[in-house]
Amino acid sequence: MKRRRLNEVIRAIRDVLPRYAATMFSHEPQTRFVVRDDQESLEFLAERPGDPPTLVPVKSFSGGEKQRLSVALVFTLHSLLDANKRPDLLVLDEVDKGLDARGVESLMTLIDEVRGDYGTVVMTSHRPEISGANFDAVWTVTKENEVSQLC
């Protein structure tokens, strides 16, 4: 039973992950993600362009690339939940940490794409450039615990 359920999850990840990964890796449109399942383990690979294309283990990715893939995986796993059982609240705690400017831009694009799937999205960040354009309200908290609403 567990193996069958695991196979269902693997198939779902194979089907859904490319959608979110395409957004998070939009500046690398040729990169494709592969899930290899050999009955003993699961391995995530990235197919990098070249002649011939090469399969690269995700564990060799840079920190920022791993973070972008992690974000894509969070949204992938959420989408696998039954619609009636999905939480209405999504909390993203410093999910932009380790992302470069393009990664943050991709993250904001992804959040905009899936906003309607959540009742509320709460995101903490140390980046002042993340603004109310992506959210309905933005608050700042200072070291002195002063809170002010920006929009």
pLDDT given for residue 73 in this prediction: 84
**pLDDT of res. 61:** 83
Structure confidence at residue 9 (pLDDT): 75
| pLDDT given at position 1 | 59
Residue-level pLDDT at 136: 80
pLDDT of the residue at 67: 87
Its domain, for residue 72, covers 2-149
**Domain CATH code at residue 123:** 3.40.50.300
The count of domains in the chain is 1
pLDDT tens by residue, 6-39: 777 777 777 777 778 878 887 776 777 776 766 6
Which parts of the chain register pLDDT below 50? none
DSSP per-residue string spanning 101-129: HHHHHHHHHHHHHHGGG-SEEEEE-S-TT
What is the helix (H) or strand (E) element at residue 22, kind and residue range?
A: helix 2-24
Rg, the chain, Cα only? 17
Q: How far is CA 28 from CA 24, 65, 74, in A?
A: 9, 11, 20
